[in-house]
Amino acid sequence: MSASRMEERVSQRTISFTLNGQPMRLEINPHETLLHVLRERAAAAEVKSGCERGDCGACAVLVDGRGVNSCLTLAVQVDGKAVTTVRGLGTPDAPHPLQAAFLEQGAAQCGFCIPGMLVTLQAFLSERPAPTRAEIREAIAGNLCRCTGYHKILDAAETAARQMRAVQA
């Protein structure tokens, strides 16, 4: 066995976390990113791999409710934490208000950026339930969409924010 193989075996470890509420237990190497582990080992291909350097937001997930880029998070760092992907926001039968608004308003074109967009907006709206349109634009400045020009995304986010406030009230 080569030295590098030996090293990998030595540093391999087990992490436990919840993925969309389901308990997970995985053997991982510490250099594996959360993005890689979610897609390749946890069947969470809804988390998209874009730039892999924190510029595009396609890989955004919630870690204990906070929106982060999973490409710049190590899997080992979510040991003991709750990870939520877009799949954890809602289901086809019971969509999250953001998902419903995106569907109704045709806010997705190719769809690649949408999982990260929805997760980011969920995190942002939980902190700031009544944002201005300018604040929403600022919140998704790190989520690149190369199709839509963002207008329908902003429309849908505003609609969803209103509906989420109405549910809260």
Q: Which residues bind other proteins (CB under 8 A)?
A: 4, 7-8, 11, 29-33, 36, 52-55, 57, 60, 66-69, 71-74, 76-77, 79, 120, 123-124, 137-143
Pick 2 or 168: Cβ nearer other proteins: 2
How near is the Cβ of 47 to other proteins at its closest, in Å? 13
C-alpha to C-alpha distance for 41 and 24, rounded to whole angstroms: 10
Residues forming beta bridges with residue 74, ordered by sequence position? 33
| HSE-up (13 A, CA, CB side) for residue 78 | 34
Nearer to other proteins, 7 or 104 (CB): 7
**77 or 109, CB closer to other proteins?**
77
Q: Residue 110 and residue 68: Cα distance in Å, rounded?
A: 22
Q: What angle do CA 7, 76, 124 make, to 5 degrees?
A: 150
Give the shortest CB-163-to-other proteins separation in angstroms: 21
- Among 51, 62, 107, 55, CA closest to 86: 62
Q: Between β-strands 82-84 and 60-63, what pairing exists: parallel, antiparallel or unpaired? A: antiparallel
Q: To the nearest whole angstrom, how small is the minimum distance from the Cβ of residue 90 to other proteins?
A: 21
Q: Which is nearer to other proteins, 5 or 25 (CB)?
A: 5
Residue 59 CB, nearest approach to other proteins (Å): 9
